[in-house]
Amino acid sequence: MLSADRTVDVLRAAGEPSRLRILALLAREELAVLEICKVLDQSQPRVSRHLRLLAEAGLVERFPDGAWVFYRPAADGECRTLADRVLAAVDGTDPVLVRDAERLEAVRGERRTAADQYFARNAATWDEIRSLHVAEDRVEAAIRDAAGPGPFHRLVDLGTGSGRMLTLLGPRATSCLGLDLSQQMLNVARARVEAARLPACDLRHGDIFATRLPDGCADLVVVHQVLHYLGDPAAAVREAGRLAAPGGRLVIVDFAPHALEVLREQHQHRRLGFSAPEMKRWLSAAGLRQTGLEILSPARSDGLTVCVWTAERSPS
């Protein structure tokens, strides 16, 4: 329980209009400082001051990611609970909050447009781009090991891209489903799946945050080199975890934290890798138990370290 003085401090931090708006925004997704500035239409120094006060009150968490700084709601604790209660009491139809939500959607739209343009330009050569810093044979061997021998009744590949995970693991599955938001990437994936002669493989336009698939529909879910493009990777992990059947498995492949800003500037990466504690926390929040983490160091000194996380849902 919070003391009376501590409660007053937290409410004072949350009780300023701009800071309340920031809390409402961060309840939707983690955001970079400049994105919050765009939504609030306020200067960076002013927004940074609000964020500092919220962080000092224990209401938000600050985490640097390369040259960017992101903020998200505090993970847990009495302060977070109090903030949630405050936000629950606010009228969601308030014109200021509605306008903020519209501006946030515009920021998301800018991200989506930039990503769509990038993927459209590079769909045909996607595997070569992805392998610039990664030894694909080593990574794919680790993915096979993480997935297990199978056979799998249902494989779901979220953000399937060129369909490489489908062709890699599909022969072990009775049926496969690949989802992606990019039609250009789906076209590449269709050609690859057809060439691999995987008839029980369905490719659909779909959102990794809202797949509209039933709970527990897959005994193997794969998220391969997708999370670093997303504005809310934790939400994507939750959705992927929701799809895992009792006793089912989730395999996530992505980069360890790094400082290659060029990937953000030229290749639309939003996050520069993920730490082991961060991913473990997200998997736990998704109701899964982490069962493995393989760390693959690059052969090149300027390369990227790839991590393969494995998690399972309890059979009962």
Query: 147-156 pLDDT, tens per residue?
Result: 998 899 999 9
Residue 293, strand partner residues = 309
Give Dmax (Cα) for the chain.
Answer: 67
The pLDDT value recorded for residue 85 is 87
Alpha-carbon distance of 276 to 212, in angstroms, equals 29
The pLDDT value recorded for residue 204 is 87
Fold of the CATH domain 125-312: Rossmann fold (3.40.50)
The pLDDT value recorded for residue 159 is 95
Q: What is the mean pLDDT of the chain?
A: 88
pLDDT of 219 above 70 = yes
Fold of the CATH domain 4-90: Arc Repressor Mutant, subunit A (1.10.10)
Cα torsion angle, 224, 225, 226, 228, sign: positive
Closest by alpha carbon to 222, among 125, 108, 143?
143
The better pLDDT of the pair 58, 136 is held by 58
pLDDT band at 240 (very low <50, low <70, confident <90, very high): very high
Cα torsion angle, 220, 275, 27, 29, sign: negative
In degrees and rounded to multiples of 5, residue 164 shows phi and psi of -60, -40
The pLDDT value recorded for residue 126 is 60
Q: Which tokens hold the place of 128?
A: 């070569």
pLDDT of 173 above 90 = yes
Among 15-19, 127-131, 156-160, 233-237, which stretch is predicted with the lowest mean pLDDT? 127-131
The pLDDT value recorded for residue 112 is 72
pLDDT of 87 above 60 = yes
Render pLDDT for 26-55 as a digit per residue (tens, 0 to 9).
Answer: 988 888 898 999 999 999 999 999 999 999
Give the start-to-end residue ranges of the domains of the chain: 4-90, 125-312
In the sheet with 306-312, reading across from the earlier edge strand, the strands are 201-205, 173-180, 152-158, 218-224, 244-255, 306-312, 289-296
CB contact at 8 A, 211 and 237 = no
Check residue 287 and give left, alpha or beta (phi > 0: left; psi -120 to 50: alpha). Answer: left
Render pLDDT for 247-291 as a digit per residue (tens, 0 to 9).
Answer: 999 999 999 999 888 888 888 889 999 999 999 999 999 999 999
